[in-house]
Structure 1
Amino acid sequence: MTQYYAGKAHRIPFAMIGGGFGSAVGVSHRDAAQMGGVFELQAGVFSSDPKRGREFGETVGVASQRCYATVQELVQHESGRKDGVRLATIVTPNALHAPAARTLMEGGIHVMCEKPMAISRAEAVELRSIAGQRGLVFALAHAYSGYAMVHEARALVAQGAIGRVVMLQAQYASGWASLPIGKDAKRGALWRTDPAQAGPSSVLGDLGTHVHHLTRFITGLEITEVAAELTSIVPGRTVDDTAEILLRFDNGACGMMWVTMAAAGNGNELGIKVFGESGQIAWEQETPDILTIRHVDGTAELRRRAIVTNSVSATMARRRPGQPEGFVDAFANLYRNVARHLDTQSTACMDALPVIPDARDGVFGMAFIEAAVASSSNGAAWTKIQGD
Structure 2
Amino acid sequence: MSATPVDPLHALPIRLNIDDSDSPSDVVDALFLGRFATGEQPYAHSASLDRVKPRATLLPPRATVLRAARDGDRSATLAEGDGWTLLISRWNRGADVTVTAVTAELAEKVVGQATDGAADEPEPQPENVTMGFWYVSPRRGPHRTTRQISAGTWDEVRSNYTAPVADAMDGLMKTTPEDIAGRLLLLHGPPGTGKTSALRTLARSWRDWCQVDCVLDPERLFSDVGYLMDIAIGEDDGTAKGRWRLLLLEDCDELIRGEAKHTAGQALSRLLNLTDGLLGQGRNVLVGVTTNEDLERLHPAVVRPGRCLARIEVGPLTRAESVNWLGRTDEGLGRDGATLAELYALRRGTAPTSVPEQRGADADGGLYL
Normalising by the residue count of structure 2, what TM-score does the alignment of the two structures yield? 0.25
The higher relative CO (CA closer than 8 Å, separation ≥ 6) is in 1
Q: Greater helix percent: which structure?
A: 1
TM-score by length of 1: 0.24
Structure with the greater alpha carbon radius of gyration: 2
